[in-house]
Amino acid sequence: MSSTPTIRVQREDFDLQAEVDLLSKGKPGIGALVTFSGLCRDEGGTLDALELEHYPGMAEAEMTRIAEMAIERFKLNGLTAIHRYGKIAAGENIVLVIAAAPHRQAAFDGANFVMDFLKTSAPFWKKEHGKDGVERQWVKAKGHDDAARDKWK
């Protein structure tokens, strides 16, 4: 059942429906699609944008490793993971994960698994830019993200 994941790290935005269509159209055996689209929060009106940096080559390799683990573990029919970089305004897309499976639970678990590992294992860094024009510190990892990842072990 092994499927090759679609992995992209890109500056430009993505089209959720176009990505769903690419993953699912004309592919028998898919009974469920779960999509997760992560957006840049405005943090209560104080955040103008996030600046995302990544380690080119290594980010794609780690995303592929995570996606392949999810495909194997949850017997997915397919998986797409797209992560943006650059300066992303509040309200814009940052990340997209689409998991395709024969049944809904595997699709939900696969998408959840991928996001929990992307948040903690993929080499991406975020810096906040405030509405006041102030460039803030790089965002630190959160303990609850590690706990979410560790539940899969």
pLDDT at 2: 63
pLDDT at 86: 97
- Which pTM does this prediction carry? 0.93
40's CB contacts (< 8 A; 6+ apart) are 47, 49, 50, 88, 89, 90, 91, 92, 93, 94
Q: Which residues of the chain have pLDDT under 70?
A: 1-2
Rounded alpha-carbon distances, angstroms, from residue 35 to 54, 77, 82, 99, 136: 23, 14, 11, 7, 31
pLDDT at 150: 87
Tens digits of residue pLDDT in 82-107: 999 999 999 999 999 999 999 999 99
Rounded alpha-carbon distances, angstroms, from residue 22 to 37, 84, 98: 16, 19, 11
Q: Where are the domains of the chain?
A: 6-150
Could you write out the DSSP letters of every residue in 109-149?
A: HHHHHHHHHHHHHS-EEEEEEETTS-EEEEPPP-HHHHHHH
Give the Cα separation of 23 and 20 in Å (integer): 5
Q: Which is nearest to 100 in space by CA: 44, 9, 22?
A: 22
143's CB contacts (< 8 A; 6+ apart) are none
Which CATH code is given to the segment(s) 6-150? 3.90.1170.40
Give the Cα separation of 57 and 102 in Å (integer): 31
